[in-house]
Amino acid sequence: MPGPTRPDLEVLYRISLAVHRTVRDWASSPRRGEVVAMGADGSPTEELDRLAEAEILRMLEAEGVDWDLLSEEVGHVARGGRRSLVVDPIDGTMNAIRNLPFSSVSLALGSGTLDGVEIGLVRDLYRGTTWWAARGDGAFVDGRPIHTRSWDRRGEVFFVNLGLRATERSVRLAGRGRRVRSLGCASLEMLMVAQGSADVYFFENREEGRNLRATDIAAAYRILLEAGGGVNDTRGASIGSFPLSVDRRTPVFAWGDPALSRALLTEEGPA
């Protein structure tokens, strides 16, 4: 399928291909799954994340761009640019380590806040499917335009983060949806909403430090907005002013149809 044609997008696309190659090489490594360091936010860094991040830095040098880097693992790397490449080198690391086919590389270019993200690109590291969007230009998957879908209660599909640390509201929302999925990869789950495969993505843990960072959602945020959806926190407030950093976290409520968003915030769902 054709890749993107805008110059900055072309760079992001080539970076995503390089990360994909790195992941394929790692899959046969005897050191697969090794923890080698701590990330910028204090969480464990797997070897795969480290390798993917190193490949992104190498590609930035090879491409000759001056973008700063903000990554889940290394934090902020100043490279003299007025914009930052906001990266989750491997979104869904646990899935990748366990050989579950739900992980991605997430790349967003912008400055300041989530609303300052100009371009987002996410590549599925198993299927090779690639989603991208630039502000005002619409959203695409492998060159085809994508759009959110209108809410139909009879065919609802909700993506909800569940498990030990999920809030009671998360559990309640899962009981509210007609069909519920949980993949463990925020970017891909948000993109299922963007392309109309799902209606909602909801992530809320009891501990603030277990919620999502800008690096997890920056690229999918731009793509979902360009596809016609929206992203709030789980109380319904905009997160457009959420800073591009690894120091802050937020719960996330992403939706495709504003009618469903309003219903869930006033009915028995997250309200």
237: domain CATH number is 3.40.190.80
User: Does residue 35 carry a pLDDT above 70?
Assistant: no
Domain presence at residue 271? no
Average pLDDT over residues 72-76: 84
Q: In Å, how far from its chain's centre is CA 30?
A: 28
Average pLDDT over residues 46-59: 92
* Spatial contact of 126 and 23, defined as CB atoms under 8 Å apart: no
Could you give the CA distance from residue 77 to residue 41 in angstroms, rounded to a whole number? 14
Q: Do 140 and 171 belong to one domain?
A: no
Amino acid at 123: R
pTM equals: 0.91
Could you give the CA distance from residue 252 to residue 234 in angstroms, rounded to a whole number? 6
Q: How many domains does the chain have?
A: 2
The conformational region for residue 10 under phi > 0 = left, psi -120 to 50 = alpha, else beta, is: alpha
Q: Do 214 and 134 belong to one domain?
A: no
Q: Do 129 and 198 belong to one domain?
A: no
Q: What is the mean pLDDT of the chain?
A: 91
User: Does residue 41 carry a pLDDT above 70?
Assistant: no
Range of the domain at 82: 7-145
Q: Do 162 and 131 belong to one domain?
A: no
